[in-house]
Amino acid sequence: MQKYLIDHRDLLFALFEFLEVDKMNRFQRFENFDRAVYEETIRLAKKIAAQSVFPANVTGHTEGCHYDPQTKSVRLITIGL
């Protein structure tokens, strides 16, 4: 089964080089957040996504959406929960 996860290097670049989130610790609310905290949060979020979120929508990834040309609408798959 393929995992649809973002490229880790791209994510780190966007967060630390482009957005410079590690500099937010100058604000009182984020004073205890350093780069290690952000990286660990990302690692845990990816783990949760791979183990819980992704498997919950396997049907959506294999079946996809359906376009009805008569009504010009897109129907999502039905998930039986």
pLDDT in tens, the chain (81 residues): 455 667 889 999 999 999 999 999 999 999 999 999 999 999 999 888 888 877 777 766 777 788 889 999 998 876 655
pTM of whole model > 0.85?
no
- The CA distance from 35 to 71, in Å, is 50
- Residue 4: the pLDDT is 60
- Residue 5: the pLDDT is 66
- Residue 65: the pLDDT is 83
What residues does each domain of the chain span? 8-75
| 21 within 8 A of 39, measured Cβ to Cβ | no
Structure tokens at 58: 């396997």
Nearest to 33 by CA among 46, 20, 18: 20
